[in-house]
Structure 1
Amino acid sequence: MHTSGPVLFFDSGLGGLTVLREARYLLPYEEFLYVADDAAFPIGRWQEAELIRRILDLFDELIRDHRPKAVVIACNTAFTLAGEALRQAHPDVAFVGTVPAIKPAAERTSSGLISVLATPGTVRRTYTKSLIESFASRCHVRLVGSDRLAELAEKHLRGEAVSDDALLAEISDCFLEQDGRRTDIVVLACTHYPFLANRFRKIAPWPVDWLDPAEAIARQLVRVLGEGASKARPDHPVDRAVFTSSPDDPALVRLLAGFGLVLN
């Protein structure tokens, strides 16, 4: 682990900001670098082999250029697909991954009916099914793949209009009634989705626990850094954001500023 570099957060778009926000509470003295592969967004539509190659090539460059002290893959699709390959390619780098929060959902459910709201790629992934077999075999777990929610979350975050009807069409399959029981937990298995959680609560047919993994990911980052966590930040380095499409977008600059980031 490099001791002087930034903590690097990676996502395909803006979703990983939910994780960075939690990490900043717990690690106020760290330098953060946010990298969004927005040129590839939405990555759930890529062929798996092509996406793995793209992520590995991009990280060869990122790790060479920035020498991060740790890397947070703040994206279920990227981590469940390429996490193991990244660790093999960079054995000296500490990676913190993002996986659907199926284990805590299984521990918390009262009805035994859980839904996992995710991108189609995460729903398809063997990794996701093995989590269900390992931690939720006594529950009824419904996998709900949404083609559009990550894009709708980006629009919402950028201040564009997103209708309740559009959101309800994407989440309605999460709600199941069976033998007098109802779904009581929905796992938000994409880091974009927590940006819409308050909207989901308003339009849901009944109250459920919307499980956001961001805090758990941030706590794991704290554990990984351990004694290497920065105790002071005397020189106040600027936290930066890099987007692979090199956008020239004043609205994005303002949005990132709200998260304490300067767009490079």
Structure 2
Amino acid sequence: MNDTAQQPIGVFDSGVGGLSVLQALRAELPHERFVYLADSGHAPYGERGDAYVAARTHAISDFLCAQHHIKALVVACNTATAAAIHEARVRHPQLPLVGVEPALKPAVAATRTGHVGVIGTRGTLGSAKFARLLASLEGQARFTIQPCDGLAHAIERSTAHPPTATQDATEIRALCAQYTGAMGPFGTEEGAIDTLVLGCTHYVFAQDILRDLLGPDVALIATGEPVARQTRRLLQTAHALACQETPLGADAVTVFTTGALEPLQNAVGRWLQLPARCCSTVDL
């Protein structure tokens, strides 16, 4: 073990969507400390330009390195990964850095009909990085790509209310129905889409609605678990895994937002079962 082993892992997203990745990271690495930043004050990234997203990525990574001395950084946002991860690696060459991308390769392995659907933000699905990933799988499956304008933002907004509120759930369901309805038939019949890639970390928190709309036979593929495994591999290579003997609890997680505090507290309580005291605001 080296001296960095007890330092936290940094994680960030444009908002609360990356909490789905943090959830997977905590399951894979229960002995680690985490600092998560939700850039909700500048969301949604998916409808911004690359230069804006890159500037936010650099501001956040600089903050996490300087103020929290992170030992690794997980960019838990498809849009930020596509727009800025190459620059972030140049900017922080010493830092193990993991990005996320739509899980097309696992989807190709999972599909039985050979038809894969991909939903994501316009920023992610229109990026050169995504185009290269798609081209690398040419001939291995048929892909139907659907930008979902407004869906990540609707999921983000839903955290402003108690989990029993129905207005936001109705909006999220309507958007999911609209976009999946535009993609063509789902199911196990020949030519139907039997595998759907959730190409935005926010969408994991709409998977119950998607499951209800699409039925039990359509596989939903997210990126949290592969990202968590890759983070473990990089930390092992760097001899930087934490050495605690027992899993750490809620106090091992610090969560910041550049937006309103209450929605973040609602989100971490609802989805990660973390107490409100874990959360605070930051001006960044």
Q: Does TM-score exceed 0.5, indicating one fold? A: yes
Q: Please, which of 140, 143, 146 is the counterpart of residue 144 of structure 1?
A: 146
Residues 16 and 156 in structure 2, CA contact (< 8 A), matched pair in contact too: yes
Q: CA 1:206/1:231 → structure 2, altered by over 3 Å: closer, same or farther?
A: closer
Which runs of no fewer than 5 residues in structure 2 stay unpaired? none
Tell me the matched-pair count. 262
Q: Which deviations, in whole Å up to 9, do the C-alpha atoms of 1:124-179 show, x marking residues without a partner? A: 011111111113433211111011111222244553422233320132223347x9
Distance in 2, Cα, partners of 1:135 & 1:104:
11
Residues 116 and 174 in structure 1, CA contact (< 8 A), matched pair in contact too: no
Which runs of no fewer than 5 residues in structure 1 stay unpaired? none
- 1:232 matched to 2:264: no
Deviation at residue 231 of structure 1 after TM alignment: 2.5
Q: Please, which of 55, 74, 77 is the counterpart of residue 75 of structure 1?
A: 77
The AA in structure 1 aligned to 2:36 is: Y
Larger displacement relative to structure 2 (132-141 or 81-90): 132-141
Matches within 5 A, 1:92-111: 92-111=94-113
Distance in 1, Cα, partners of 2:121 & 2:86:
20
- 1:88 matched to 2:77: no
In the alignment, which residue of structure 1 is the partner of 2:60?
58
In the alignment, which residue of structure 1 is the partner of 2:182?
173
Q: Please, which of 201, 205, 211 is the counterpart of residue 195 of structure 1?
A: 205
Q: Please, which of 24, 27, 31 is the counterpart of residue 25 of structure 1?
A: 27
Larger displacement relative to structure 2 (87-96 or 153-162): 153-162
Distance in 2, Cα, partners of 1:175 & 1:213:
24
TM-score normalised by length of structure 2: 0.84
Give the superposed CA RMSD. 2.4
Deviation at residue 4 of structure 1 after TM alignment: 3.2
Larger displacement relative to structure 2 (194-203 or 55-64): 55-64
In the alignment, which residue of structure 2 is the partner of 1:263?
279
Deviation >4 Å, runs of 4+: 233-237
Distance in 2, Cα, partners of 1:205 & 1:21:
25
Residues 49 and 123 in structure 2, CA contact (< 8 A), matched pair in contact too: no
User: Identity, % of aligned pairs?
Assistant: 28
Q: CA 1:204/1:86 → structure 2, altered by over 3 Å: closer, same or farther?
A: same
The AA in structure 2 aligned to 1:33 is: V
The AA in structure 2 aligned to 1:230 is: A
Q: Which deviations, in whole Å up to 9, do the C-alpha atoms of 1:35-75 show, x marking residues without a partner? A: 11111111112121222123213322221111101111111
Deviation at residue 213 of structure 1 after TM alignment: 1.2
Distance in 1, Cα, partners of 2:183 & 2:11:
29
In the alignment, which residue of structure 1 is the partner of 2:256?
242
Q: CA 1:138/1:176 → structure 2, altered by over 3 Å: closer, same or farther?
A: farther
In the alignment, which residue of structure 2 is the partner of 1:8?
10
